[in-house]
Structure 1
Amino acid sequence: MTTAPTVLSIALAETSEPVLRPLPAEVAALLAEVGAPPRLVAHLRAVHDVADRLVDWIGAHCPAAAVDREAVLFGAATHDIGKTLHPGELSGPGARHEEAGRELLLAHGVRPDLARFAGTHASWTAPDIGLADLLVSLADKVWKNKRVADLEDLVVAELSRAGGRQVWQEFLDLDEFLTGLGEDADLRLAWQAAHSVHG
């Protein structure tokens, strides 16, 4: 099990290569409490940072989208928390962490509307998925410069609907922004890989 000081340091300490925004203090405390492995904490911080940049961009680019910033950032910061219970999924495939993460968050008093991201971050085509869910999913891909056309098309459609711009215009603008985000992916991947899968 990871010690709380290790988790808190990974979650909150200043970074330089890459520069990453710290996780919210309440999320860092929760990750310490559940004994999250160092690599998981590093991954959540990298995805949270990308989600923060994505929400900032959408706020400036398409204010009519009315993104729930708190929800997206909390979702990005906790989406894989279930991997604490299924550590094999840190370095290999698997989906058991999704529902396990949602249940873990609920058990620690997290509101259902925030805990849901642990279960929805890999299910962007499921019914009742909104823009906030899509943005958590998108951040979870783009942090490592993985581009998923179907997911991006759903985000583009939401932005076009909200802002009234043509789909092709939204596509070009989002593509340009995501390409820029991808430029730091190698630094984020190296930073995550520098942290142990085990506590």
Structure 2
Amino acid sequence: MRLDLNADADEALVLLAQLGARTRLLAHHALVLQAADAISLAFNALTVPHDAQWLRMGAALHDAGKILHPHEEHESGTAHEAAGQALLLKQGVPAHWASCCVSHGAWQTPGLALEPCAVALADHLWRGARPADLELRVIDLAAERAGCSRWQLFGALDDAFEAIAADGPARLVAQRRTLSTLEPMQ
């Protein structure tokens, strides 16, 4: 399966499964995708211009390198980042989507756009984590895109991020429950 520019996030998840992604990794990507969708909805409500497809594809593909480095599913590590980008490029995934494998871990890089930073944020919010410096970076980039000040968006985006993070513990419980029933079958 190849992903062209008209592909959607469900197709990206199918590609990851075909490449050997384990159930745990696919579940993680689906949960990050939920958080990314909620961020996109918040941007839409505030009329923040953004590439919703890029945000969805980035969320669906960001940890692809963990197929090659499965120990990083439960251990800290960055080897999966460059490996994921190379794996996706080898599969013909457009370079701007494959770059999410590296950018989600390097969100502090100067000049990084709103969408990769929002994917990095979704990768935290899905489980209930709220990294203040990353949230402020996303708010500042969103304000820049919308042509307004940080403070014009801060309250609404802070509330949106809180709502997404508040569902994190329930997502973790649901993920554990699902994985406990599926993993013995793998």
Do both proteins adopt the same fold according to a TM-score greater than 0.5, normalized to the shorter chain?
yes
Helix, strand or coil at the partner of 2:99: helix
Report the Cα offset of residue 198 of structure 1: 9.8
TM-score (norm 1): 0.82
CA distance in 2, matches of 1:53, 1:197: 32
Q: Distance in 1 between matches of 2:184 and 2:72?
A: 10
User: Are 2:25 and 1:40 aligned?
Assistant: yes
**Equivalent residue letter for 1:94:** G
Quote the residue 1:179 is aligned against. 162
Cα distance in structure 2, aligned partners of 1:150 and 1:197: 39
Q: How big is the shift at 1:197?
A: 10
**Contact 1:82/1:99 (CA < 8 Å) preserved in 2?**
yes
Report the aligned-residue RMSD.
1.8
Instruction: Write the distance in 2 (CA, Å) between the matches of 1:179 and 1:42.
Output: 22
1:165 to 144, 148, 152: 148
Letter in 2 for 1:30: L
Query: What does the per-residue CA deviation read over 1:106-155, in whole Å, with 9 as the maximum and x for residues that have no partner?
Result: 11110101100011101111133100111101100110111111111111
Report the equivalent of 2:35.
50
1:135 match: secondary structure: helix
Secondary structure of the structure 2 residue equivalent to 1:122? coil
Aligned with residue 105 of structure 2, among 101, 115, 122: 122
- Structure 2 residue 44 is matched with structure 1 residue 59: yes
For 2:145, what is the secondary structure of its paired residue? helix
Residue 131 of structure 1 is matched in structure 2 by: 114
> What corresponds to 1:29 in structure 2?
14
CA contact (8 A) 2:81 2:102 kept: yes
CA contact under 8 A between 2:130 and 2:165: conserved in structure 1? Answer: no
Checking the alignment, whether the CA contact within 8 Å between 1:80 and 1:97 is kept in structure 2 is yes
How far, CA to CA, are the matches of 1:163 and 1:198 in structure 2? 48
Partner in structure 1 of residue 93 of structure 2? 110
Q: Which structure 1 residue ranges, 5 or more long, are not aligned?
A: 1-22
**Could you tell me whether the CA contact under 8 Å between 2:13 and 2:61 is conserved in 1?**
no
Aligned length: 175
CA contact (8 A) 2:17 2:26 kept: no
Q: Specify the alignment match of 2:138 in structure 1.
A: 155
Q: Which moved more, 1:176-185 or 1:43-52?
A: 176-185
- Which of 60, 63, 77 aligns to 1:80? It is 63
On the 8 A contact 2:65/2:82 being kept in 1, the answer is yes
Q: Is the 8 A contact 1:51 1:136 kept in 2?
A: yes
Contact 2:69 2:79 in 1 (8 A): yes
Contact 1:40 1:197 in 2 (8 A): no
Cα separation, 1, equivalents of 2:44 and 2:109: 25
Q: Which amino acid aligns with 1:46?
A: L
Runs of 4 or more, structure 1, over 4 Å off, are none
